[in-house]
Amino acid sequence: MRSMIASPLVIATFCLHLLDIKAQENPPILNTPKPATIPPKKPAPEKEAPKTPTPSRTGAGNQYFIEKLQKLNGDMEQLMGAYNLQIRKMEALEAQVKNLQTANENLKRENALRFASNKDIEELASKLMKLDNNLRNDLKLTNQQIDEILKTVQKIANSPAPTPPPTRSNPAPANFQAREHVVQSGEFLSTILSAYNTAFKEEGLKGRVSQSQVLKANPGMKADRLFVGQKLLIPLPGEIK
């Protein structure tokens, strides 16, 4: 757009230069009006009529072209002012366009970060489907493992309880007072005796029950091999010697 405005100015300057050269070479001839013809009067013999000087054509032509050049120079200055004003407006418009382009690029980047594209959504959906399939397969495998564990537990529950070993020692003494105790998980003979001796003392019974007395009251029992659910007879203090 700047080149479109500058081209007429250059052409006008060139034309002014040509006019200046032409004016110097061929000044124009001014057509001065002729005075009206007046019948001549016979001059007095003693006096002669004065002669009027003719105007200088060269000076008048130069003045004409000078005025034209001054007017053209004024027009040129106005055109240059308008041209500079257009340049400033164009620079302001270019700055606004650059600002708009920058804002547009920033908006595109923000939208790209804020909103997912169709490709991103498709990739996410594919990953979710794959994850769902993996979870289904893991759930199926877990259910199979749980079924196997339940089968094993059911098999153990249906199996008969182990029978205590047969008694090989002397039979238990007859006619003695005792209390029956069922062995629980984690119990030992020493802890069982300590608990019963504490209870007997609180009840006011004198004496303590020893491990040998318990073994006598339970023929065939081994102190280091107690079974969960096994029944023991704990004699009262002084019942078995």
- Residues 175-221: tens digit of each pLDDT: 888 999 999 998 999 999 999 999 999 999 888 999 999 999 999 88
pLDDT computed for residue 151 by the predictor: 81
Domain positions in the chain are 1-28+58-140, 178-235
Complete DSSP assignment for 8-22: HHHHHHHHHHHHHHH
**CATH code for 178-235?**
3.10.350.10
- Residues 3-46: tens digit of each pLDDT: 555 555 556 666 666 665 655 555 544 444 444 455 555 555 55
- Residues 99-156: tens digit of each pLDDT: 989 998 888 888 776 666 677 788 888 888 888 888 888 888 888 889 889 888 877 8
Q: What is the DSSP letter of 205?
A: -
Alpha helices in the chain (DSSP H): 2-25, 57-114, 118-158, 189-202, 211-217
